[in-house]
Structure 1
Amino acid sequence: MTESKLNYIGPIPKLLAFERERPAWWRRVPLAAVLVVGLPTMLAMIYYLLIASPRYVSETQFIVRATGQSAPTSLGVALQGVGISPTQTDAFAVHEYITSRDSLIELSRRYEIAEILGPRGVDAFSRYPQPWEGRSREALYKGFQRFVTVGYDSTTGISTLRVEAFRPRDSQALTEALLGGGERLVNRMNERSAADTLAQARQSREEARARLSAAQQQLTSFRNREQFIDPTLAAKEGSELIGDLQIEVARLRADRAQIAGEAPNSPQLPVFDGRIGAYERQIASEREKIAGDAGSLAPMISAYEDLVLNREFADKELTQATAAVISAEQEVRRQKLYLDRVVSPSLPDEPTEPRRWLAILTVFASSLLTYGIGWLIYAGVREHRQD
């Protein structure tokens, strides 16, 4: 029978197990993670914590509205979501002007914009011009856009203007100047709209007034030429005279018939016959004056009535044109735009930009996401090759 011998019971010595020492944690970090995540984050921390210059932000809020315009309803807000924008066009026009080249040109007449956006002592990546930018007008305009932001709240209709600068007074002054430029734009829009709306109505009124004046002059010339104020009235008076003469003739005939019946040889009968003949000749003469040859009143009455009718039409047209001008003026006042300041431009007492830790965190998260996506792509490619 063989007996086994146990010489040692216990842990195996490290020298016999050949156990390797684990490297330090920083050596276990992949080089790609250091380059993609660590390096950008470190650079961001160096820039935002040590180099980035503080910027002061002045903010103002305003609303562009028409007279009597109410706040947008819930239905209006819902319609905006499907692309139907009922009343924001004017506000957006002010937004575009504030960030336009025309606005920059107007500011340049009052301020040294290049000096405000790039004072001495400011870091090269925040100021204007940046190292890769020139000093042309186009470069100044692009730099200007980095410092000006305009937003719009569709639920309230309020616009917000934010201007950044490296000095508090500069940011407030630029905000005030830009808001003033927006107000002048609204005033110009009002003047242009009023001019376009009233021009045609006033032109129609002047044309109607000219036609009425011409018709009145034609009527006056007719009266001077024919020496009649109103031929119609003269014809009426002539007709009344003829009626009176006919009544007198009828009375005379009745008297003559009575005398002739009582005394056929009465010497009064020739007298009655003479008077009746005179009246009848007068009636015929008056009738020729009213309607007869070319010198009678009938052609004059026709021409006079045409002139009077033209004058009445011109007078009615002038009345309608005047009413149209009054209506257009009321419409202009009703549609007049106003830029109301909800909040005046503020004077910042401390810098709010850049948001240093938020920017660093953003760089870190973006780098980490980039590294994660890259690692997944690399792992997939490697697994595909092994297969």
Structure 2
Amino acid sequence: MAPPSLADAAIAQHTPPVVAGAIAAVPARLDQARKGMMLARVGLLLPVDDAERRPAWPTPRLLSFLFVVLLPTVLAAVYLFGVAADQYVAEFRFTLSTAEQPRIDPLAMLAGGAGHAPAALESQILVQYIGSRAIIEQVDRSLDLRRLFGTSEADWWARLARGAPIEELLRYWKEQVDPFYDPADGTVTVRVRAFSAMAALQLAEAVVAASERLVNQLSQRMRDDAVQHAQAEVDGAEIRLKGVLDKVHAFRDREGMIDPVKTAQTTDLLATRLRDELVQDNAQLATLKAYMRDDAPSVKILKARIRSLETQQRGLAREMTDPDKTRNDTLSSVLGSYEALEND
């Protein structure tokens, strides 16, 4: 307790004992009140200073965390667990095969790759078709896609508007139907999503049916192209054959022989026989001259035979190599022309 002041002492001297006791208690209460006020002041000043140092609004970092992280997370959780409707997924896989040999691409070989197999090309075409407007128009004939995707079972956010234009339907289709081609094993995988198991199954079956129609059309077109190409080759071969036959007929009419090859073979055989007979007759003539005179009848007959054989041999030689009076070309040139026609 603080010592009494002069004013307190003066009051105490002129105050009765009872009043003095009461007055003496007042300073004690005042001291306690002053101490309490001092403590309260100290306690109030410190928070006031901290409040002055602390900003009145949240920091930008806190705001960005709230709006970028916390609020979207809360909204997504509320939508997924409280609003979003269940979606069912139907998946199917298939592979395409063809009997046609892979086409060799020189650029791909230089780059270290392989040729393009027709099945791989058809699979890529099919993947593009499943994500196109053409299949939407095809499937929409059997399934009302706007009704299927705009069903009341879907939530308001994921539901397709009943009167959505074809562009909006195409965008929505690409979100619900996901085709993928794996070049490692040549498998095409398609996943379709709908708001009921039956709708997902119906949509998957419709996509499979449309895909089969496209594959059959591609296969039929490839077969038609192959048949058309083969028919064109056959027609060209027939035209060339007809031209060659016409040339052969004209050649035979011009040269006066049916088969120059057989004619040449016959001529060569005849020349061989003449040569053999000449060898024999010359040998016989040499034998006769050993014990007969040159004017002997046998020697004269044999000499005449040898002269006749030599004349025939020279005639065959001229026929095969030189023009004569009855033929425009030699047999060798005729045979060459005929072989050229055969090669055509």
Shift of 1:242: 2.2
Structure 1 residues 307, 111: closer, same or farther in 2, change over 3 A?
farther
2:273 aligned residue (235, 241, 249): 241
Give the Cα–Cα distance (whole angstroms) in 2 for the partners of residues 85 and 141 of structure 1.
35
Tell me what 2:177 maps to: 148
Structure 2 CA distance, aligned partners of 1:236 and 1:86? 55
Question: How far does the alpha carbon of each residue in 1:4-54 deviate from its partner, in whole angstroms, 9 at most, with x for none?
Answer: 56545598379965969xxxxxxx997x79994887677656655554333
Tell me what 2:147 maps to: 115
Report the alpha carbon displacement of residue 119 of structure 1 after superposing the two structures with TM.
Answer: 2.5
> Considering only CA atoms, is the larger Rg found in Structure 1 or Structure 2?
2
Pair 1:12 & 2:20 matched: no
What is the aligned partner in structure 2 of residue 81 from structure 1?
Answer: none
Q: Which amino acid aligns with 1:98?
A: I
Q: Which residue of 2 aligns with 1:172?
A: 201
Please identify which structure carries the higher helix content: 2
- The one-letter code matched in structure 2 to 1:150 is P
Q: For residues 1-387 of structure 1, what are the structure 2 equivalents within 5 Å?
A: 3=3, 7=29, 9=32, 12=36, 36=67, 47-49=79-81, 51-62=83-94, 92-120=124-152, 122-129=154-161, 135-151=164-180, 160-182=189-211, 185=214, 207=236, 211=240, 214-215=243-244, 218-219=247-248, 222=251, 226-229=256-259, 230-247=262-279, 249-251=281-283, 253-254=285-286, 257-258=289-290, 260-261=292-293, 268-269=296-297, 272-274=299-301, 276-285=303-312, 287-292=314-319, 293-295=324-326, 299-311=330-342, 313-314=343-344
Q: What is the distance in 2 between the residues matched to 1:243 and 1:163?
A: 92
**Secondary structure in 2 matching 1:60:** strand
After superposition, the C-alpha distances for 1:99-118 in whole angstroms (9 at most, x for unaligned) are: 11122122123322222122
Secondary structure of the residue aligned to 2:332 is: helix
For structure 2, list consecutive stretches of 5 or more residues without a partner in the other structure: 5-26, 48-55, 100-112
* Per-residue Cα deviation, 1:69-103 (whole angstroms, up to 9, x for no partner): xxxxxxxxxxxxxxx99988765543322111122
Moved more, 179-188 or 55-64: 179-188
How many residue pairs match? The answer is 281
For residues 65 and 12 of structure 1, do their structure 2 counterparts lie closer, same or farther at Cα, with a shift above 3 Å needed?
farther
Q: Provide the rounded CA distance (Å) in 2 between the counterparts of 1:234 and 1:154.
A: 67
Q: Which amino acid aligns with 2:331?
A: M
What is the TM-score of this pair, normalised by structure 1? 0.53
Q: 2:84·2:155 contact (CA, 8 Å) conserved in 1?
A: yes
What do the CA deviations read for 1:202-249 (whole angstroms, capped 9, x no partner)?
Answer: 866775676566546645664576235312112212202321442354
For the residues of structure 2 that align with 1:86 and 1:3, how far apart are their CA atoms? 112
CA displacement 1:126-169 (0-9 Å, x = unmatched)? 22227xxx532222212222211234668877554221112212
Q: Secondary structure at the match of 1:150?
A: strand
Give me the CA root mean square deviation. 5.0
What is residue 324 of structure 1 aligned with on the other side? Answer: none
Structure 2 residue identity aligned to 1:149: D
> In structure 1, the residue corresponding to 2:191 is in which secondary structure?
strand
Distance of 1:146 and 1:242 partners within structure 2: 95
Q: Would the aligned equivalents of 1:57 and 1:162 in 2 still touch at CA under 8 Å?
A: yes
Structure 1 residues without counterparts, runs of 5 or longer: 21-27, 68-83, 315-387
CA distance in 2, matches of 1:89, 1:219: 48
Contact 1:252 1:276 in 2 (8 A): no
Write the letter of the residue equivalent to 2:149: L
> What's the offset of the Cα at 1:59?
2.1
Provide the secondary structure at the position in 1 that maps to 2:151: coil
SS state of the match for residue 291, structure 1?
helix
Q: TM-score, normalised by structure 2?
A: 0.59
User: Which residue is 1:342 aligned to?
Assistant: none
Amino acid paired to 1:226 = G
Give the structure, 1 or 2, with the largest relative contact order (CA under 8 Å, sep 6 or more): 1
